[in-house]
């Protein structure tokens, strides 16, 4: 088996594990399984991300996603990915939103929402592997960020004279 194909299978297995772990509710007994409503919620959220529209922040967000991917590539330890790469990723998104949007965010919900955007990238990679499509999954991650911006940042205007 060639290295690329082997790598894709590993990515698919990791994505599948991530999906199951992400959807597993905390505090449940280990013998319970993912319910159809939980699965439906995950699918619904991913489909909503794919329907989001890109804004004028696309180039900035693409740069942020590329930096996250480069950091992940250079960091093999999962805990460092979370403490360094993910922290910088979230900070860069927050900074870009503050500099480019003039509305009042629901900041806590926004920050929780963008934490799932790298998962959207992983879901896309799994979809690409299973369906054999050539997809630029960075765009799916960008759409996830845009979706979070739409839900928790855009639309509430700031009072005149405040920042």
Q: Within a domain: residue 67?
A: yes
Q: Within a domain: residue 36?
A: no
**What is the Rg, in whole angstroms, of the alpha carbon atoms belonging to the chain?**
17
Q: Within a domain: residue 136?
A: yes
Tell me the pLDDT tens digit for each residue of 71-117. Answer: 999 998 989 888 999 999 999 999 999 999 988 899 999 999 999 89
Tell me the pLDDT tens digit for each residue of 110-163. Answer: 999 999 899 889 888 888 777 777 788 999 999 999 999 999 998 654 443 344
Task: Report the number of distinct structural domains present in the chain.
Answer: 1
The residue range of the domain holding 97 is 57-158
Q: Within a domain: residue 98?
A: yes
Query: What global pTM score does this model have?
Result: 0.71
Q: Within a domain: residue 116?
A: yes
CA–CA distance, 61 with 79 (Å, rounded to integer): 24
């Amino acid at each position: 088996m060639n290295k690329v194909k082997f790598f894709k299978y590993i990515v698919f297995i990791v994505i599948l594990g991530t999906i199951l772990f992400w959807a597993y509710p905390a505090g449940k007994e280990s013998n319970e399984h993912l319910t159809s409503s939980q699965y439906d919620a995950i699918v619904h959220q991913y489909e909503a991300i794919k329907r989001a529209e890109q804004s004028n922040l696309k180039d900035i967000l693409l740069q942020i996603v590329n930096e996250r991917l480069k950091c992940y590539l250079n960091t093999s330890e999962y805990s460092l990915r979370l403490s360094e790469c993910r922290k910088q990723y979230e900070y860069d998104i927050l900074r870009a939103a503050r500099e480019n949007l003039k509305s009042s965010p629901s900041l806590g919900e926004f920050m929780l929402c963008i934490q799932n955007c790298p998962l959207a990238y992983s879901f896309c990679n799994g979809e690409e592997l299973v369906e054999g499509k050539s997809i630029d999954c960075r765009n799916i991650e960008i759409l996830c960020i845009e979706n979070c911006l739409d839900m928790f940042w855009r639309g509430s205007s700031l009072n005149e004279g405040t920042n």
